[in-house]
Amino acid sequence: MNDIIIYHNPDCGTSRNALAMIRNAGIEPHVVEYLKTPPSRALLEQMIARAGIAPRALLREKGAPFAELGLGDESLDDDALIDAMIAHPILINRPIVVSPLGVKLCRPSEEVLDLIPARQRGGFAKEDGEQVVDDAGNRVGR
């Protein structure tokens, strides 16, 4: 049940919230600080495929060299976008969570709840105070 991997940026509130929800289920995931240890091209391609998304859906636009590299150009193919993410890992949006239940870009952070194979052990509120799990361990607002 512990085979959950989170590609994490500790400076990102969304990533911190997703990590905290995994831990709130009593699971200590394998945490990969992907800016320090970026995924290989093959691994990144595999995660994109398993998540069922296009590479463009994983691109981070805010606070990254997105505009400077001209990545908004819709004519760029998937290989060019993946090349950019490999060259500049900050372009990889986060958190990406890999679990026995699938792979997902967990934005908003409560998307991680779909990937945790255990119940939440109690209430959980995100850093901004938004309650996403009630005291009984049930997802709120879904």
Dihedral angle, C-alpha 32, 117, 99, 10, nearest 10 °: -20
Dihedral angle, C-alpha 113, 139, 125, 29, nearest 10 °: -20
Q: Is 12 a catalytic residue?
A: yes
Catalytic residue chosen out of the listed positions 4, 6, 12, 19: 12
As given in the structure block, the two tokens for residue 129 are 């105070």
Q: Are 131 and 123 in contact (CB under 8 A)?
A: yes
Phi-psi map region of 31: left, alpha, beta (phi>0 left; psi -120 to 50 alpha): beta
The rounded Cα 34 to chain-centroid distance in angstroms is: 11
Show which residues are catalytic.
Answer: 12
